[in-house]
Amino acid sequence: MSSISRRALLAGAAATALATTTRPAWAAPLATADGFAGVNSLGQNGTTGGAGGPVVTVRDADAFLDYCDRNEPYVIQVDGVMRISSKQGVRSNKTIIGLGSTAEITGGGLDLYRRQNVIIRNLRFTGADDDAISIQQSSHHVWIDHCDLSGGADGLIDIVRGADYITVSWNHFHDHSKTALLGHSDSNAGQDTGKLRVTFHHNFFDGTAQRHPRVRFGEPIHVYNNYFRNNTLYGVASTENAGVLVEANYFENVAHPIYSGYDESGPGRVVERGNVYVRSGTPETLGTVVEPRTYYPYTPDSAAGLPGTVPAGVGVGRI
């Protein structure tokens, strides 16, 4: 008698339900990636995730990881808490989205290694034993939206080793130190220069200490309409000749809102405009930066209203 594969067992018996391929109601209203994840480049027309593939619902970690590891497009709906360890791989052309406000990935994180076209939305990440989300080795077109990230052992989001065309939007970062790293090493200019194009918008950096983000080499990095509050070390750091535009953000109780150069890393270029600084220090600026408008259109909100609109809109259960 032939043996039954682990995948077949999971597909048949792991509390997983296949649904229609029609976009379900929970995907509205922010169903289209904007910022750098929405740019047509590298053979990818924006970021569509698993659109066109089957919609599945997973309620246990084995089924979740099985679908993440499949080569075909899938929309993976997460129902409940997925307890994992280490960094678990996600293949290309996936949408991973939590149902309601209680979907969670805890204990480990997600790793995108030479992947593209991935959407991660409406998920809580807690207690990762490494990075909560790692995007690396030339992965591109990734959208992280409406997540809640806290309490990991290392970074909450690391975007490194030539990753490109990524948007991080409407997320709540809290109870953590090293929030978001772009470019892992001062010695990696050859792989990272001209890459690491990332948009951060409408995120709430809520008492996190540093890296909102910390950037090496990439250009342009667009940081706009974020709310920075009580960040103990610094807000944004541009280093190693990175080009960062910090635009229409609200900094509250941030002694060092913007650095050019940090620790042993050399200075980066940084332009600031339209920001609000409340009980915060003086930003450091240097040089010029490529305009994000050369890649995509956008209209920033007024920075003054962000303490109201951002906390009310970020995190899980809001889409």
pLDDT digits (tens, 9 = 90+) for 41-93: 999 999 999 999 999 999 999 999 999 999 999 999 999 999 999 999 999 99
With 70 as the cut, is the pLDDT of residue 169 above it? yes
What integer pLDDT is reported at residue 13 of this predicted model? 36
Q: How confident is the model at residue 277 (pLDDT cuts 50, 70, 90)?
A: very high
Give the model's confidence band at 119: pLDDT under 50 very low, under 70 low, under 90 confident, else very high: very high
Question: 26 pLDDT exceeds 90?
Answer: no
- Give the per-residue pLDDT at 199: 98
Segment 180-189 mean pLDDT: 98
- Which of 16-30, 100-114, 125-139, 296-310 has the weakest average pLDDT? 16-30
pLDDT at 25: 35
Residue 281 has a pLDDT of 98
Residue 187 has pLDDT above 80, yes or no: yes
Annotated catalytic residue: which of 121, 124, 197, 211? Answer: 211
Alpha carbons 132 and 145: distance in angstroms, whole number:
14
The answer, yes or no, to whether residue 204 has pLDDT greater than 80, is yes
From residue 10, alpha-carbon distances to 85, 118, 152, 299, 305 in Å are 19, 22, 29, 45, 47
Instruction: Say which residues have a Cβ less than 8 Å from residue 60's Cβ, sequence separation at least 6.
Output: 14, 15, 80, 82
Indicate whether 96 pLDDT > 90.
yes
pTM: 0.92
pLDDT at 283: 98
pLDDT tens-place string over residues 233-267: 999 999 999 999 999 999 999 999 999 999 999 99
Q: For the segment 292-310, what is each residue's pLDDT rounded down to a tens digit?
A: 999 999 999 999 999 999 9
Active site residue 114: no
Q: Quote the pLDDT of residue 12.
A: 43
Instruction: Flag the least confident range among 3-12, 120-129, 238-247.
Output: 3-12
**Residue 189 vs residues 87, 160, 162, 215, 242: alpha-carbon distances, Å:** 25, 11, 9, 12, 10
Checking if the pLDDT of 156 tops 80, the result is yes
Residue predicted with more confidence, 288 or 19:
288
